[in-house]
Structure 1
């Protein structure tokens, strides 16, 4: 199910867009649902804080009458929903350049000035979003989000080999198939972040799906890329059973 969110500070404009969305979904019977339409951008953020969203289309007014604009809202939403599709509705075309500043890949832009074409454009972005999600098979891809400085980096879980405690307090090193980098966290926190993560040692959390082999005698774990880490005695026994299953 693809969820649709609309955030528009003009009540009449909001009602109009909601009407177009609801009518089209009803007619076409698409696997999509309008879950929230609001004038308040913080309502959208609160929804994502309380609910998991895997596939979503966000129709956002850029010039919101709030402490954040639509582009800043999209930037915050991207941290919670990496796969979300964003469409900006605005009467200020000059503000579109801000999407490049925030490195947002907008699905489309809709100008309010074209009132006659608004319904047509809303329908087009609904269809475009539906096609994109159906083609990408995004449901099969799981991401883990890491905050580094002021940025949030999304990593595919299948690309993660293991996490290692850093010599820098409160930091860990994530080892990937194509490299590694450091960020603030602890192995204690990471072991509960995903079902594939298993704390095999006081200094390591391993991605069970990327283990190539385990030496029961030396308790050495070999990853699919050849890297090796050590396991505790108890964890090694558990890992052997997990890998065999």
Structure 2
């Protein structure tokens, strides 16, 4: 389910947006939910950090009395949710080009002066998002999302080679084809989340079986396709041979 965030400094407009979005979600049966409706950008950022999910963001540009405007908020959201859908809702039509200057890749820019046009713009955005999500589910690569400090990273699952314990309590190191990421986590939780493609071959290693190049049965080592090696326990020999 896609979370929806609204950041609008005008209380009446904010309430109207929420009401119309709730009606659309109910009538059309969209797999979406409004999780936050606020006039404060910091509240939105905190909620996005805690969620770590791809979201939909309806953002006002002129946020009076706040430390950042809608463009600044969009930039911060992009650091946390690089694949989210940004929609700018504002009274100033001539500011539309600014979304390109800030490299925000906004989905749409809606002028809110006319209630009917505002509703039409919101309806169009949800239709576009729904269609994109439908197409992506047909051929989209599966992503693993991990929170590192205040940034959420999305790594294609097929590019993950293995996970290993990093020698410190609750620290995990993800080895991908072109990256290494150290984060707080649990091997058991990863094993349950990632499914049968990933195999706990040793208490210190969780490997992507699609990334295995060869087995060294004598030394109980797995050579991965990226050239790195992982140990495997004696009891995993038969399981690994079945996977090859």
| TM-score, reference length from structure 1 | 0.71
> Retained in 2: the 8 A contact 1:219–1:230?
no
Find the residue that maps to 1:87 and give its secondary structure: strand
Distance 1:22 1:34 in 2: 8
Residues 1:74 and 2:74 are matched in the alignment: yes
Instruction: For 1:137-176, list aligned pairs within 5 A.
Output: 137=137, 141-144=142-145, 154-162=154-162, 174-176=175-177
Q: 1:216 matched to which residue of 2? A: 217
Find the residue that maps to 1:43 and give its secondary structure: helix
**Deviation for aligned residue 1:243:** 7.4
Distance 1:133 1:8 in 2: 26
Distance 1:2 1:19 in 2: 17
**Deviation for aligned residue 1:241:** 3.5
Find the residue that maps to 1:161 and give its secondary structure: strand
> Retained in 1: the 8 A contact 2:57–2:84?
yes
Q: 1:229 matched to which residue of 2? A: 228
Distance 1:41 1:50 in 2: 14
What runs of 5+ residues in structure 2 fail to find an aligned partner?
165-172
Distance 1:19 1:214 in 2: 59
> Retained in 2: the 8 A contact 1:107–1:125?
yes
Residues 1:105 and 2:105 are matched in the alignment: yes
Find the residue that maps to 1:228 and give its secondary structure: coil
**CA shift digits 1:12-43 (9 cap, x unpaired):** 11122112212222333333222221112222
Q: 1:20 matched to which residue of 2? A: 20
What runs of 5+ residues in structure 1 fail to find an aligned partner?
165-171
Find the residue that maps to 1:137 and give its secondary structure: helix
Work out the number of aligned pairs and report it: 230
Q: 2:3 matched to which residue of 1? A: 3
> Retained in 1: the 8 A contact 2:52–2:145?
no
> Retained in 2: the 8 A contact 1:87–1:110?
yes
Q: 2:133 matched to which residue of 1? A: 133
Q: 1:9 to 1:213 in 2, by over 3 A?
A: same
**CA shift digits 1:96-130 (9 cap, x unpaired):** 44433543221111112344411111111111111
Q: 1:39 matched to which residue of 2? A: 39
| TM-score, reference length from structure 2 | 0.71
Distance 1:137 1:112 in 2: 32
Distance 1:175 1:31 in 2: 31
Distance 1:91 1:243 in 2: 64
